[in-house]
């Protein structure tokens, strides 16, 4: 069960990374709250997409090779990124709007989940 959940999150992060890296302007225009964080910066946005792709690839390869250390290491950027979004939410007064909901559902919760699952993973 844990293995299946991790594969699903790897797929989610690969698709997310591809979307951000290939279509950075679309991501900037469509992600709730993105425009409020500053001016459009294609280079920075693509870097984030590449970070998602790298993390997902490390987790996926670690899962394939049954290397839990690689999986945990691969999930660290996602965790730090997700916790950073939670911190920003608290700093900005914990408003419950579309951007906060998107951050929780698509950024913070999956990041905490994949990190936790990678920590718990035991090769079969």
Query: What are 4-32's pLDDT values in tens digits?
Result: 999 999 999 999 999 999 999 999 999 98
Cβ neighbours of residue 92 under 8 Å, at least 6 residues apart?
none
From residue 6, alpha-carbon distances to 12, 40, 84 in Å are: 10, 32, 22
60: enclosing H helix or E strand: helix 42-65
* pLDDT at residue 80 is higher than 80: yes
Cβ neighbours of residue 24 under 8 Å, at least 6 residues apart?
42, 45, 46, 49
| Residue 96 pLDDT | 75
| Residue 91 pLDDT | 82
Query: What are 36-63's pLDDT values in tens digits?
Result: 889 999 999 999 999 999 999 999 999 9
Q: Is 120 exposed, middle or buried (0-12, 13-18, 19+ CB in 10 A)?
A: exposed
From residue 25, alpha-carbon distances to 44, 46, 64 in Å are: 11, 10, 33
Q: Is 91 exposed, middle or buried (0-12, 13-18, 19+ CB in 10 A)?
A: exposed
């Amino acid at each position: 069960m844990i293995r299946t959940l991790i594969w699903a999150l790897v797929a989610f992060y690969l698709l997310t990374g591809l979307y951000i890296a290939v279509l950075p302007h679309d991501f900037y225009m469509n992600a709730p709250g993105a425009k409020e964080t500053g001016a459009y910066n294609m280079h920075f946005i693509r870097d984030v997409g590449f970070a998602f792709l790298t993390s997902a690839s490390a987790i996926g390869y670690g899962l394939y090779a049954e290397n839990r250390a690689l999986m945990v290491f691969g999930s660290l950027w996602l965790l730090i990124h997700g916790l950073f979004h939670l911190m920003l939410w608290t700093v900005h007064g914990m408003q419950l709007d579309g951007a906060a909901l998107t951050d929780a559902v698509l950024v913070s919760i999956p990041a905490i989940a994949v990190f936790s699952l990678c920590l718990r993973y035991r090769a079969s």
